[in-house]
Structure 1
Amino acid sequence: MHGHPHLVSDVMTRAVVTVGQGAAFKEIVRTLEQWRISALPVLGEEGRVVGVVSEADLLPKEEFRDSAPDRRTQMRRLADLAKAGAVTADELMSAPAVTVGADATLARAARMMARHRVKRLPVVDGVGGLCGVVSRSDLLKVFLRPDAELAQEIREQVIPLLIPCCAPSDAIGVEVADGVATLTGHLEGTPLAAATRLVRAVEGVVDVRLRPSGDGTPGGTK
C-alpha cells in the first residue's frame, strides 16, 4: 500500500539505450530499429543528457530527399530543413532535452508530456546525469494497483479525514471495483466535493461514486 504519491523513480525504466553527440545518422537509425524504440537520449560530457533524437528528427532527410521546397516552405520549416542536411546526433537532436527528476510525481510527469507533446522523458539526477526513462505506458502502471489495495488506502488515509471524531469507524463504507471507488453510508455532513477530490487523489482510482444512505446507517465494506 502507498500512503504517499508514486514517484517517477517507482515506474521508470532504468536500463536506457543512448547515443553520444557524435553518433552518425545511420547508427542512430540502426539503434532505433534494433531496440524497437522511437527516441534516444543523447549524452554529452560526464553522461549528462544534452538532447533527444527521435524518429521525427530523422524523417526530414527522407521528406526532402527528392524535392526542392518552395520559398514559403523554406521559411516556415527552417529547422526541419537543417535536420534534412544533418548527419550526427548533435545536429539532429532536439535540445535542450525536456527532462524530469526521479523524485517528481507521476502527475507532474504526465503534465510535462502533455505540455511538450512528447511520449517519454529522460529522467535525470541533480546534475543532469541520466537515471532512466519514463514513458506514457509507465505512468499508466499505477492503474494496475489491485482494488483491495486501493480500498485499504482509502479507508486508512482518506476516511479518517471525512468522518466526525464521534462517528463509528465504519460510518462510511468503501468498495472498489475495476478502480471505481464507491463510498456508502453516513455521508451527511461530509463535504461531498472534498470527499470526491480526496478519493480521486488516490493513485490508481479511476472514478468516484458517492451513495449516501440517508439514514446514517453504516455502508458495506469490501
Structure 2
Amino acid sequence: MKRTRRIRSVMTTDVAQVVPGTSFKAVAALLEERGVGGAPVVDKDGRVLGVVSRGDLLERDVEHRGIGPQARRGKHKAEALFAADLMTAPAVTVDVEDDVVRAAQLMEKHRVHRLPVLADDGTLAGIVSRADLVRGYLRSDNDIREEVLDEVLKREMCLDPSTLYVSVYDGVVSLSGVVERYSMIGVIKALISRVDGVVEVREHLRVELDDRKIEPGEPAASGMFPDRSIHRP
C-alpha cells in the first residue's frame, strides 16, 4: 500500500550538512543559500555529531549572564568559531523506518523543527522537518478516497468496495454499510487512519456477526448464524 507514514517517505535526502571544522561564516552562508534553519554536523564517516541552527548562530548576539549550565553553554556558543562548538549535541535523531508519529512526538518534546534521519548503518540518510510531516495532509479528498477503496478495503481487507459507502471531506473519512464481523471494524479503522492525509475516521458500520460474544472453541463460521445484519449495541 502506498503510504507516507514512514520517515523514509517524507524526508529530504538532499541534506545541507557541515563538518565540525566548518567556520561560523561558512555555516551561516550555507543556511542562507539553502534556505534552511539548520544543518546536521557529521564526521568523516557520515555519522551525525549534532545539529547547528540559525538559533545557535544568533547566540553571538545575546548577552549571556549567570553561572549556570545554560548560561555557560550560551557563552560558549557566542564565542564559537566553528561548527563543532556551535552545534547542539547530541542530536535528536530518527531512523528511516520510524513512523512519522514518532518524529512529531520528538519534535514536540525537544522543541526542534527538524530531525536528522539515520540509515540502518547509523549514517546520515536525510532530514525531516515539521513541514515534511504536515505535507501529507495536503492530499485531495479524491486521492484519499481512492486509496481507501483500492488499497485498504479491496487489497488489505479483501472486501468489495462497492458494498460500503465511503466519503471524504476535508480529510475526514466517513464509512457506512455492513461487514461480516465486529472484529473487522477496528482493523478497518486502523488501516484507514494510516492513509496519508486522513484527519479522522467516522464509521457507522453494521455487522452480520458480533464475534465479541463467541467463547473459545465455539464455531464461528458465518454459516452458523442467521443471514441478517445486526446493529451494534
Please report the TM-score for the alignment, with normalisation by the length of structure 1. Answer: 0.77
Contact 1:25-1:89 at 8 Å conserved across structures:
yes
CA distance in 2, matches of 1:77, 1:128: 32
**Residues 165-197 of structure 1, C-alpha deviation per residue, up to 9 Å, x if partnerless?**
9x9864431111221111123479747983655
Runs of 4+ aligned residues of structure 1 deviating over 4 Å after TM superposition are 156-160, 167-171, 187-193, 195-198
Q: CA deviation at 1:52?
A: 0.5
> Which structure has more RCO (C-alpha within 8 Å, separation ≥ 6)?
1
Q: Which runs of 5+ in 2 are unaligned?
A: 207-227
* From 120, 131, 136, the counterpart of 2:125: 131
195-204 or 54-63, which deviates more: 195-204
117-126 or 194-203, which deviates more: 194-203
Matched, 1:147 2:146: no
CA distance in 1, matches of 2:45, 2:14: 17
1:89 corresponding residue in structure 2:
83
Contact 1:124-1:131 at 8 Å conserved across structures:
yes
Q: CA deviation at 1:202?
A: 2.7
CA distance in 2, matches of 1:178, 1:136: 20
Please report the TM-score for the alignment, with normalisation by the length of structure 2. Answer: 0.74
**Number of residue pairs matched?**
207
Q: CA RMSD in A?
A: 3.2
Partner of 1:20: helix, strand, or coil?
coil
1:208 corresponding residue in structure 2:
201
Q: CA deviation at 1:115?
A: 2.0
Q: Which runs of 5+ in 1 are unaligned?
A: 217-222
1:182 corresponding residue in structure 2:
174
2:217 corresponding residue in structure 1:
none
CA distance in 2, matches of 1:59, 1:186: 60
1:51 corresponding residue in structure 2:
50
